[in-house]
Structure 1
Amino acid sequence: MTTQQYRLQNLSCANCAAKFEKNIQQLQTVEEVKLNFGAAKLTVTGEATIEELEQAGAFDNIKVVPAKTRVIEQAVPFYKRRENILAFIALVFVIIGYSATVWGEQYAPYLFAVAIVVGGIDIFKVGFQNLVKFQFDMKTLMTIAIIGAAIIGEWEEAAIVVFLFAISEALEAYSMNKARQSIRQLMDIAPATALKKSIHSDHTHELEVPTEDLQIGDIIIIKPGSKIAMDGRVVSGRSTVNEASITGEPIPALKEVGADVFAGTLNEEGALEVEVTKHVDDTTIAKIIHLVEEAQEEKAPSQKFVDRFAKVYTPLIMLVALAVAMIPPMFTGDWQHWIYQGLAVLVVGCPCALVISTPVAIVTAIGNAAKHGVLIKGGVYLEALGHVKAIAFDKTGTLTKGTPAVTNLYTHHETRLLEVVSAVETKSQHPLARAILDYAFTQKVTVPSVTDFESVTGKGAKGFVNGNVVYAGSLAWVSTLVDIQPEVFEQAKVYEEQGKSLVAVSEGNVFLGLLAIADEVRDESKAILQQLHALGIEETVMLTGDGQRTANAIASTLGVTNVQASLLPDEKLAAIQQLQQKHGGVAMIGDGVNDAPALAASTVGIAMGGAGTDTALETADLALMSDDLTKLPYAVKLSRKTLRIIQQNIVFALSLKLLALLLVIPGWLTLWIAIFADIGATLLVVFNSLRLMRLDK
């Protein structure tokens, strides 16, 4: 059995999607079918032609296109759409019908009947098919209500209901397309073709080829102002590249030979030659699209609740409608009035607004997050992040930059100190050597050569520079070799209390000074923690393998509420479990590799630097694509706003319908009110959900 994936067009109704999926499942050659309503994507296992699939969706004019085929959807103007033309013709006949009540009342029912047939032909086609199969969706209920209204002589209202329903269908289609826009924008990011460098007989040619035909190792040419077609590594050229489409980071990144680039990013002023490192289906943008679509498909807890509720709600409404139509007239004798009321109950009771209340919010939020460089793996994690009360942070590479750097010099001979210590450190393998050399480079220090270099285990290193012996290492060791003033030890104690590592340096018999080195705190970390506390996060915890003194120094600088130091990976896991017992929901943010156990155990695991990092994309529940911690408060804010909107949607959908149903008691419910309640509830939840598209960081 083969599995094929397709993109769907004209899929705007959740009930229609369920029916379409059921129709395909009934095909004898189909083993399994999976329909992702949010992403408008279909996965079919088995043998089924596109014609057969489109026939299964013919009731709603659903079009099926292979997933890998790039199709530019032609935007059909509102006034050219068939359903809208029919709705307009129906409106014309409704207006003429109303005018006929003045100049020829006997003709009015016929004019309203024409409006009903023209405007409702698509409704009736599906409605009758469903009735035969005892399938009850909105179109079935509408068909029963309209025909029932016509039978009892309510031609005028039946015609108006048909027109209003047609308008609501058009608006629902528009709003769902708007919600899916973020996915389409992601799909359109990467070019479909690339300029491949081809060498024949010492001549270089540029061939434009589809990205699907490129192989790993091929060289593609990226001209200034063009988009990069594939993930790869720069082999020639130098340029800045705008990576906002992948990472959400607006500041262009400098790319030189050896730098990685991503498909869909924009090359700015320079020309580049890039060696392809991934196939088209494995590029970062392809993975993001796939994960976002999966995320939109996965049902959040609220959506599961709504689905369960709708299964009970729909048959219950039908029973209520039947009771309203049958029981009161047994006592009053007014069958026409109460049958009319029962038909109105059928219309108002359709669960469209309730069913769509959650998925449209989830689809919109996850799409918006992807656009801002935050990849959320599913509605369940989006909701869970909205409930967390505590966030645990790995220190190195998350709250700090992850690389040691020289922060202070304590010396009267700065240039001389940097020259001799850099000379010795050029031969050293110590982790702090790189920080010293980087700092010397930024200070434009000329580094002399070193001879007779020797590493002294646990103490430091020594060598001869310009004929003088130079010692670089711990203060305790250097103090046994040369005389050091008491104030140096006092300053050293201050640096150590700040969590900094020290390198003492002497030349010959002269003590030159101290270098203080630390893993620098990210500039934005403190402000981010303050924002999280303002958003209602009760506890921020720093988990680190570093010593207690260093951890405390950084924690006091940042303002975290709790710090746990000297932790091994299994101890970080235990710390997360303790936090969960205390708070319930806990998020953990780390690098996605070293912190894997803690990330997996947390309610929501958040990985830093997802772009190009397969581990982060695959293991985390949420990834910050640009290694940008400022996206964390945005993600928390988005999740909380999504939760609020879902709750509002459910309340809106049920309240409007309940209000309309209460009008049955005094007998005031009309088909007009019923259709307005249904349309109003549906449009209200959709447009309320679309507010999530406007949330910015």
Structure 2
Amino acid sequence: MASSTATPTRPTTGRAALPVRRTRLFALPEIRWAAAALVLFLLGLMAQLSGAPSWSWWGLYLACYVSGGWEPGLAGLQALRDKTLDVDLLMVVAAIGAAAIGQVMDGGLLIVIFATSGALEALATARTEDSVRGLLDLTPDTATRLAPDGDEQTVKAEELKIGEVILIRPGDRIAADGAVVGGASEVDQATITGEPLPVDKTVGDEVFAGTLNGTGALRVRVDRRSEDSVVARIAGLVEQASETKAKTQLFIEKVEQRYSIAMVVATLAVFLIPLSFGAALQDSLLRAMTFMIVASPCAVVLATMPPLLAAIANAGRHGVLVKSAVVMEQLGTTTRVAFDKTGTLTRGIPELADIRVLPGTRFTEEQILRLAAAAEHPSEHPLAAAIVRAARHRGLGLPATDEFTAQPGRGVSALIEGHFIHVGSPAELLRPGTTAAAAATTAAAAVEALQTRGRTAVVVLCEHTPIAVLGITDQVRREAAATIAAVAELTGAAPVMLTGDNLVTATQLAGQVGITDVRAGLLPDDKVAAVRDLEADGERVSVVGDGINDAPALAAAHTGIAMGGAGSDLTLQTADAVVVRDDLTTIPTVIALSRRARRVVVANLIIAATFITVLVIWDLVGHLPLPLGVAGHEGSTVIVGLNGLRLLRSATWQRVRTPAPRDRP
């Protein structure tokens, strides 16, 4: 628990900051065109409702068509060139058809919906790319290379070769994956392993590029090139998973190809067949346009979107940001949930949990805590902060400290009220020859007992004799156990823990919250492999995490859920949903809400399909008047829209907070 006055301030929660260069909102052309279409539509609607001349609001609506429809229309034509017919082109044609028979406002609304959807997708893609670039910025651009004669040379990190030795000064980020060949320090490697506390590093220990060195200096032998480092592999995994992750599409997108072709063919048939038998051109065109309106999937689109958007809004009011309607649909299909440990089930903040006073010590528990806290008070180490917080929580005053020294990787020492106090790592302070053999054996037994319980052990010496062993642990979230139970009941499957922490610590915490399937010691690519294994067994996995090391697994999972409080930018951008207030209980609730929304979608689709079927048959068999066809089409749209908006009510969120047992989709 070393200290250094020159060390820059760093987080004590085990979460390293991630620099991100964000794409500006209106730098994306899709955003600009969608915003223009929305503004023009609203202006046209106001002009129409205010009784302005028809040419004015017609002009505004047509301008909306152009600004919001040219891009999906162009994309549809390009797809048509590749012999595919997508729903974007169909929507543009339907909007033009609506305008052709006087329903210009309906067509404008359809254009705005599709332009906005495309803009949001483009924004999400850009932000994910920004975060991946920010991840790569964790690795410094330059490194200090040590020549065989000891000279220091500043070189680009990408030029480092395997076998070269680099110098890592206090507070620096490590420039390459490698092994320590000299020096000692503590390293915050939460970005890679997710461990909540800095890890002491001495000769022979492995270090990773992008992790943050503490208060000591290290000499590191380079073992991997920059493009092969773990942090570079994390960025690659995120990009690969984002590109290859099968997108669960909304209903209309799943059937768009067949429906689009069938509708175009049917519309042409309705127009050409009567015309070939001598029907008037105007009558044939009117019947075909009526058919296109009543058969267009507007009601189907609105049957799907309003319930999902209403559920998104409801979840947002209760602290869960669901990024799209597709994500809200996917959440409801979850059959297994995998949780990260540090920062997700725990808070990532160390706390003093045990004080083991050793036999023969003349000090009481409170006296030992008071002396240890006084010795640690000048230190910047997170474990030191936990000891000081514990002393202050008990109302203990800290005596003055003299002759304070810090030794990276070993601990701190100070003269306090005439006692020489040393607080630090058991591996260093209990080495043979550093203290009496009997006292060292007793202390080592206490250390082993605490470590078996998943604690981080810290030894306190007085006059070079062990007097106590302190056990420090991560704070478990109070709602963690209730959340695990609710998730298990909802999905009918026990949740999984995926963590980079050691097995002993992970298993001990898992027992507290009710998880039996623990997979520990995982690097980011190991977490991805674990998710793939679960999905290979037919599971649809939702992964919950907060650290940079969780991002690849979140990207690879069926759905990724990030904890928003301490979540890294990469994780927040990669995730499909974000728990903004860090309330774990909202996770089973939002899954249950998604399932309710899916049921509403099914009901809406039945309503919309019934209206479309009746109106189409009427138009084909008899003679459906255009006003009645428009009224029926718009009526079905209003009905399904209002039905979906029921999910906006806060009562809906409260109703799904206690999910029914095992509601697997």
TM-score band by shorter chain is 0.5 to 0.7
What is the match of residue 47 of structure 1?
A: none
- Deviation, structure 1 residue 62: 5.2
Query: Match of 1:388, SS?
Result: coil
Per-residue CA deviation, residues 413-468 of structure 1 (Å, 9 max, x unaligned), is 23211111112223556542221111112112111234455667876555443223
CA contact 2:547–2:567 (8 Å) conserved in 1:
no
CA contact 1:478–1:505 (8 Å) conserved in 2:
no
Per-residue CA deviation, residues 234-289 of structure 1 (Å, 9 max, x unaligned), is xxxxxxxxxxxxxxxxxxxxxxxxxxxxxxxxxxxxxxxxxxxxxxxxxxxxxxxx
Number of residue pairs matched by the alignment = 459
CA contact 1:324–1:339 (8 Å) conserved in 2:
no
CA contact 1:389–1:538 (8 Å) conserved in 2:
yes
1:567 aligns with 2:522: yes
What is the match of residue 561 of structure 2?
A: 606
- Deviation, structure 1 residue 512: 4.9
1:579-594 maps to which residues of 2 (within 5 A)?
A: 579-583=534-538, 585-594=540-549
What is the match of residue 42 of structure 1?
A: 36
Equivalent residue letter for 1:594:
N
1:648 aligns with 2:597: no
**Aligned equivalent of 1:396, options 332, 342, 347:** 342
What is the match of residue 200 of structure 2?
A: none
1:355 aligns with 2:301: yes
| 354 and 139 in structure 1: CA distance in 2 versus 1, 3 angstrom threshold | same
| 382 and 141 in structure 1: CA distance in 2 versus 1, 3 angstrom threshold | closer
What is the match of residue 582 of structure 2?
A: 627
1:415 aligns with 2:372: no
Per-residue CA deviation, residues 380-409 of structure 1 (Å, 9 max, x unaligned), is 333333333233222111111101101233
Equivalent residue letter for 1:376:
V
What is the match of residue 100 of structure 1?
A: none
CA contact 1:425–1:436 (8 Å) conserved in 2:
yes
Distance 1:35 1:511 in 2: 65
**Which piece of structure 1 moves more, 507-516 or 433-442?**
507-516
Equivalent residue letter for 1:420:
L
**Which piece of structure 1 moves more, 637-646 or 525-534?**
637-646
| 583 and 484 in structure 1: CA distance in 2 versus 1, 3 angstrom threshold | farther
- Deviation, structure 1 residue 555: 0.9
| 507 and 612 in structure 1: CA distance in 2 versus 1, 3 angstrom threshold | closer
1:521 aligns with 2:476: yes
What is the match of residue 253 of structure 2?
A: 304
Distance 2:272 2:516 in 1: 60
Query: Match of 1:594, SS?
Result: helix
CA contact 1:532–1:633 (8 Å) conserved in 2:
yes
**Aligned equivalent of 2:386, options 428, 432, 435:** 435
What is the match of residue 470 of structure 1?
A: 421
CA contact 2:546–2:562 (8 Å) conserved in 1:
yes
- Deviation, structure 1 residue 601: 2.9
**Aligned equivalent of 1:383, options 305, 309, 329:** 329
CA contact 2:315–2:653 (8 Å) conserved in 1:
no
What is the match of residue 696 of structure 1?
A: 653
- Deviation, structure 1 residue 529: 1.8
| 81 and 360 in structure 1: CA distance in 2 versus 1, 3 angstrom threshold | farther
Query: Match of 1:358, SS?
Result: helix
- Deviation, structure 1 residue 307: 4.3
Equivalent residue letter for 1:696:
W
What is the match of residue 684 of structure 1?
A: 639
Per-residue CA deviation, residues 35-84 of structure 1 (Å, 9 max, x unaligned), is 899xx6237xxxxxxxxx99xx7xxx6528xxxxxxxx9x99x9x7549x
What is the match of residue 263 of structure 2?
A: 314
Unaligned runs of at least 5 residues, structure 2: 1-23, 66-89, 121-246, 279-283, 358-362, 655-665
CA contact 2:405–2:412 (8 Å) conserved in 1:
yes
What is the match of residue 96 of structure 1?
A: none
Distance 1:619 1:630 in 2: 21
CA contact 2:413–2:420 (8 Å) conserved in 1:
yes
**Which piece of structure 1 moves more, 616-625 or 682-691?**
616-625
Distance 1:33 1:450 in 2: 62
Distance 1:62 1:498 in 2: 63
Query: Match of 1:449, SS?
Result: coil
| 316 and 530 in structure 1: CA distance in 2 versus 1, 3 angstrom threshold | farther
**Aligned equivalent of 2:395, options 435, 444, 447:** 444
Query: Match of 1:595, SS?
Result: helix
Distance 1:425 1:343 in 2: 80
For the aligned residue pairs, the C-alpha RMSD in angstroms reads: 5.5
CA contact 1:589–1:608 (8 Å) conserved in 2:
yes
What is the match of residue 63 of structure 1?
A: 43
Equivalent residue letter for 1:416:
Q
Distance 1:339 1:567 in 2: 65
- Deviation, structure 1 residue 650: 2.4
Query: Match of 1:42, SS?
Result: helix
- Deviation, structure 1 residue 693: 1.9
CA contact 2:310–2:648 (8 Å) conserved in 1:
yes
Equivalent residue letter for 1:442:
H
| 506 and 572 in structure 1: CA distance in 2 versus 1, 3 angstrom threshold | same
Distance 1:488 1:612 in 2: 38
Per-residue CA deviation, residues 470-500 of structure 1 (Å, 9 max, x unaligned), is 3545678569548669999887666443312
Sequence identity (%): 30
Query: Match of 2:491, SS?
Result: coil
Distance 1:511 1:342 in 2: 92
What is the match of residue 278 of structure 1?
A: none
Distance 1:495 1:569 in 2: 28
1:435-514 maps to which residues of 2 (within 5 A)?
A: 435-453=386-404, 462-473=413-424, 481=436, 495-505=450-460, 507=462, 512-514=467-469
CA contact 1:470–1:506 (8 Å) conserved in 2:
yes
Query: Match of 2:505, SS?
Result: helix
Distance 1:485 1:613 in 2: 41
Equivalent residue letter for 1:580:
E
Query: Match of 1:447, SS?
Result: coil
CA contact 1:33–1:42 (8 Å) conserved in 2:
no
- Deviation, structure 1 residue 347: 6.4
Query: Match of 1:404, SS?
Result: strand
1:8-47 maps to which residues of 2 (within 5 A)?
A: 34=30, 41-42=35-36
Q: Point out which structure has higher relative CO (alpha carbons under 8 A, 6+ apart).
A: 2
CA contact 1:555–1:563 (8 Å) conserved in 2:
yes
Unaligned runs of at least 5 residues, structure 1: 7-31, 44-52, 65-72, 87-120, 145-161, 184-297, 331-337
Distance 1:41 1:451 in 2: 65
Whose radius of gyration is greater, 1 or 2? 1
Query: Match of 1:560, SS?
Result: coil
Equivalent residue letter for 2:334:
V
CA contact 1:397–1:591 (8 Å) conserved in 2:
yes
Distance 1:644 1:636 in 2: 13
| 347 and 614 in structure 1: CA distance in 2 versus 1, 3 angstrom threshold | closer
- Deviation, structure 1 residue 591: 2.2
Distance 1:562 1:652 in 2: 43
Distance 1:396 1:611 in 2: 10
**Which piece of structure 1 moves more, 554-563 or 469-478?**
469-478
Distance 2:566 2:414 in 1: 43
